[in-house]
Amino acid sequence: MHFLYKFENEDLYYHHALDKQPAAGDFFRHAHEMCEVYGFIRGKGVYTVEGTPYPLGPGDILIMRPAEFHTLSIDTSQPYERISFNFSPAILAGSDPEGLLLEPFFSRPLGRENLYHAKAFPEGSPMDLLREMSRRQPERGEQRLHIICCLFPLLAQIRRAYKQKNADPAAGSGRAAQIIAYINENLTGHLSLEKLSADLFLSKSQITRLMRRAAGCSAGEYITVKRLLLARRRMQAGEPPTAVWAACGFGDYSAFYRAYRKYYGASPSGKGRGTRET
């Protein structure tokens, strides 16, 4: 991956990247702790968000809220260029206390209405604002301020398109979406392949096949990642690791510790990596 531009601090993460020869193994299923606005510039691929596949075209915009699971299937025969921008919702708290600019992220079901085509923005493309964020500023603090100044009109454009958009009633429907919805509604309780099978009236092999097709992983792996994201948010809010593991559905602390260290590359008491490349 070649970064054309990258900026990162505790509440913002931006990168404009180009893979001239993308490798499928470089793009992992993941979820972020911040909101994400993703701009697809060139290449050929399909982004799957919580089981809903979105074929990508130049100028397309994808949005994901925190802990919204997504994975990319990319055509490795073509260069892949994109902009990915992650931001903490807390940045908007003082200026938008009612959360209006965040409606497109949080006022919809998981995996629904994530994709916006360029034609959804007749008054100006969010891609222009995503590109503008990378215009160099003299100081790091000024760079952060410049990015935030672009963030507000960017979110306003997306919100207008969200309000005008007629949701596709078929998007996110089907058995895989039902499995994903059930898991997220019962994340902190007892979940197993056997329980999913009994409660959803599907065989274990059907669940395994549907989840691998929709999310690129098994139901167990999906549950673990979602629980880790929940635990990390609670720890960032001040709860100690020893208090969150059971509340987030893990059977014991050692299982939580091993899973956390494997996913984040650090112990629960350490910082670890908070953002994965897209």
pLDDT digits (tens, 9 = 90+) for 39-56: 999 999 999 999 899 999
- The structure tokens listed for 137 are 């500023």
CA-to-CA distance for 213 and 209, rounded, in angstroms?
Answer: 6
Q: Residue 215 — very low, low, confident or very high, per pLDDT cuts 50/70/90?
A: confident
148-159 average pLDDT score: 96
Residue linked to tokens 């309000």: 163
Which runs of consecutive H residues, i.e. helices, occur in 95-139? 103-106, 126-132
Backbone angles phi, psi at 229, to 5 degrees: -65, -40
CA atoms within 13 Å, Cβ hemisphere of 167? 16
- pLDDT value for 211: 87
CA-to-CA distance for 2 and 10, rounded, in angstroms?
Answer: 22
Q: Residue 237 — very low, low, confident or very high, per pLDDT cuts 50/70/90?
A: confident
| Residue 156 predicted with pLDDT over 50 | yes
222: nearest Cα among 182, 266, 274: 182
| DSSP state at residue 277 | -
CA-to-CA distance for 158 and 163, rounded, in angstroms?
Answer: 9
Say which range, 5-9, 165-169, 247-251, 261-265, has the weakest mean pLDDT.
Answer: 165-169
Q: What percent of the chain has pLDDT over 70?
A: 94
| Residue 272 predicted with pLDDT over 70 | no
pTM (2 d.p.): 0.74
Q: From the CA atom positions of the chain, what is the Rg in Å?
A: 19
